[in-house]
Amino acid sequence: MKCAEDALGCATMERDEVLNGLRAAFAGVERGAVTLHEAEVIDSYGTVAERARAHKRDTDGSWNAIPDEHIKECASALPHLDPASFRYYLPRFIVFALESGSRRAGTIADAVIYALSYTDQRDLNDHKRERFAVLSLEQQTALAAFLEYATQNANEMDAHVAAEALKGYWRAR
């Protein structure tokens, strides 16, 4: 098998498998009530008027159409999305992290990993379980594959937290 002979080629193939799985699992997902820029305003304790203006900025009709610049601008948005919007934006964050090759990609990958991990805070875990409940089995499997990839790429993302997330929730998926 080529992967056993060529570690670089194997890593590329695994990354492509993760990307293809995400694209298939999240195809056709619709956005929820909270938009990306609105969630970023929520993170900075913005006013209702600021949220409304930010909401209008997001006119994408598909998560695939979200520009890279929007992901870069909204790196802190994931924790503030409603469950349906979380499902909508999550694959775009992962695609950006795995394809961009920029220094910002590691920060974005880590934001996803932290959004998929559990903590010692029960209320926060309840919030995360509510968001995870809207994910189909295929979507959960695709996210577990991303976390598995992250555990093998510690130089690019937080492999330790990814491993804990897998152990704590995602491996069973």
pLDDT category of residue 6 using cuts at 50, 70 and 90: very low
- Closest-CA residue to 169 (of 118, 131, 130): 118
Count of C-beta atoms within a 10 Å radius of residue 38: 25
Q: Tell me 31's DSSP state.
A: P
Q: What is the pLDDT of residues 99-132, one digit of tens each?
A: 987 666 889 999 999 999 976 656 667 788 899 9
CA angle 57/62/63 to nearest 5° reads: 80
- Is the separation of the CB atoms in 60 and 66 below 8 Å? yes
Name the token pair of 107.
């920060």
Identify the pLDDT of residue 106. Answer: 83
Q: What is the pLDDT of residues 47-81, one digit of tens each?
A: 999 999 999 999 999 999 999 999 999 999 999 99
What is the pTM (predicted TM-score) of this model? Answer: 0.88
Residue whose pair of structure tokens reads 């349906």 in the numeric block: 84
CA angle 38/104/70 to nearest 5° reads: 30
pLDDT category of residue 31 using cuts at 50, 70 and 90: very high
The helix/strand/coil state of 81 is coil
